[in-house]
Amino acid sequence: MSELLEKLSNAPGVSGFEDEIRKIITDELKDHVDEIEADSMGNIIAVKKGRENGKKIMLAAHMDEIGLMVRFIDKKGFVKFSKMGGINDQMLLNQEVIIHSKKGKILGVIGAKPPHRMKPAEKKKVLEYENMFIDIGASSREEAEELISIGDPVTIKHEFSNLRGNLVTGKAFDNRVGCYVLVEAMKRAKTNATIYGVGTVQEEVGLKGAKTSAFKINPDMAIALDVTISGDHPGIKFEDAPAKINKGPAIILTDASGRGIITHPMVKKLLIEAASEEEIPYQLEVSEGGTTDATAIHLTREGIPTGVLSVPTRYIHTPVEVASLEDIENTIKLLIAAIEKI
């Protein structure tokens, strides 16, 4: 399991630049599905055909990760950047980064004014990203421009690793974990329904790929595959994030306090019954936080019955996200069990 997950996690794929993730998914699925294509937005759509006139089921996992983009290069060659997606400024400072340019991967570090020269009031504040910069070692704008360009995407440099037990850590588990679940479910599922496995683009910046791909497919039902906050560590109240690592996938009942998805009763019933029948551990979640591709999908055309399966994950939207291989495998099993009930 971890070899493919490692490949997906380590690969770059900032919103709008999901090419490498799309290639990995294509290579993994091309011998296991009947059709596979990339649409004009960049979504990858793999089709596993069922019986004629059978139900159409859409599985969606977003391929993009949060990241940065080169915005400005000053006369000394230092790089100012913009954020792509929901990034907490405090996790950026002093990180190693990779600028993905036409010249290849350019290593840099995020720097800022040293604490030795900060006033006491400054030290107490979270440094905002506008006051940071990327140092690639260039001595002038001209030298930097030989290597990088305005608009180049930037990722945090961090490698996938195994922790104790069955836990793994890496960048972009949001949502390469979902991509892994999608790939494995497409490989293993056997059903009369036609399954559309979609790796969507630009979820982190507006659920964009989900909107266009759902409109094209017009499925009878959809399940978004993502991660959710695991509240089993210091610094967070259990009541604010009740999902726990190693307790099974989370079936999301609503997110963003109902402004996002409110899971269709049919989909909720299907997922819970499948988990109970197969004795797969699961958790139920009512979330007040973020949302997923499901929000865009369920509002497409006349409306699509939609739900969400999420893998509990610690430290989401940082380079050191942590997930359980057991939870990931149980998410795959539950997804397949649900599909095969249709």
Report the CATH number that the domain containing residue 239 is assigned in CATH: 3.40.630.10
One-letter amino acid for residue 162 of the chain: N
- Please, what is the average pLDDT of the chain? 95
| 162 in any annotated domain | no
Q: Which band of pLDDT confidence, cut at 50, 70 and 90, is reported for residue 223?
A: very high
Instruction: Answer yes or no: do 77 and 224 share one domain.
Output: no
Instruction: Answer yes or no: do 235 and 118 share one domain.
Output: no
Q: Which band of pLDDT confidence, cut at 50, 70 and 90, is reported for residue 261?
A: very high
Query: What contacts 134, CB < 8 A, 6 or more positions away?
Result: 70, 78, 79, 80, 81, 97, 99, 108, 109, 110, 111, 154
Whether the pLDDT of residue 13 is over 80: the answer is yes
**Helix, strand, coil shares, percent, the chain, to 5:** 30, 30, 40
Give the pLDDT score at 1.
64
Instruction: Answer yes or no: do 230 and 112 share one domain.
Output: no
Instruction: Answer yes or no: do 139 and 10 share one domain.
Output: no
* Interatomic CA distance for residues 300 and 306, integer angstroms: 11
| 164 in any annotated domain | no
Domain span at residue 18 reads: 2-65+171-341
Peptide bond into 53 cis (omega under 30): no
Instruction: Answer yes or no: do 185 and 295 share one domain.
Output: yes
Give the pLDDT score at 253.
96
Least confident segment among 19-23, 236-240, 282-286, 330-334: 236-240
Instruction: Answer yes or no: do 72 and 60 share one domain.
Output: no
Least confident segment among 10-19, 114-123, 134-143: 114-123
Instruction: Answer yes or no: do 126 and 197 share one domain.
Output: no
CATH number of domain containing 110: 2.40.30.40
Take residue 288 and report the two structure tokens written for it: 């007040």
Least confident segment among 48-52, 149-153, 170-174: 48-52
* Interatomic CA distance for residues 281 and 251, integer angstroms: 11
Stretch 131-143: mean pLDDT: 97
Instruction: Answer yes or no: do 119 and 248 share one domain.
Output: no
Instruction: Answer yes or no: do 78 and 143 share one domain.
Output: yes
Condensed to tens digits (0 to 9), the pLDDT of residues 234-247 reads: 988 888 888 999 99
From residue 7, alpha-carbon distances to 21, 89, 160, 173, 313 in Å are 9, 27, 8, 11, 18
Give the pLDDT score at 196.
98
Condensed to tens digits (0 to 9), the pLDDT of residues 54-82 reads: 899 999 999 999 999 999 999 999 999 99
Take residue 210 and report the two structure tokens written for it: 């989900």
Condensed to tens digits (0 to 9), the pLDDT of residues 283-301 reads: 999 988 889 999 999 999 9
Show which of 90, 125, 156 is a domain's final residue.
Answer: 156
- In this structure, are residues 168 and 315 in contact, taking their beta carbons and an 8 Å threshold? no
| 220 in any annotated domain | yes
| 163 in any annotated domain | no
| 257 in any annotated domain | yes
Q: Is 203 a catalytic residue?
A: yes
Query: Among residues 55, 27, 16, which one has the least CA distance to residue 200?
Result: 16
Category of 127 on φ-ψ map: left (φ > 0), alpha (ψ -120 to 50) or beta: beta
Whether the pLDDT of residue 25 is over 70: the answer is yes
Instruction: Answer yes or no: do 38 and 81 share one domain.
Output: no
Whether the pLDDT of residue 122 is over 80: the answer is no
Stretch 225-231: mean pLDDT: 96
Give the pLDDT score at 117.
72
Give the pLDDT score at 163.
96
Instruction: Answer yes or no: do 119 and 198 share one domain.
Output: no
Take residue 167 and report the two structure tokens written for it: 């836990």
Beta bridge partners of 58: 196, 222
Show which of 156, 190, 212 is a domain's final residue.
Answer: 156
| 166 in any annotated domain | no
One-letter amino acid for residue 98 of the chain: I
Active-site hit among 6, 28, 203, 321: 203
Residues in the chain: 342
Comparing 138 with 121, the larger pLDDT belongs to 138
Instruction: Answer yes or no: do 211 and 132 share one domain.
Output: no
Query: What contacts 78, CB < 8 A, 6 or more positions away?
Result: 111, 133, 134, 135, 138
Structural domain total, the chain: 2
State the number of CA atoms in the 13 A half-sphere of 243 facing the CB: 27
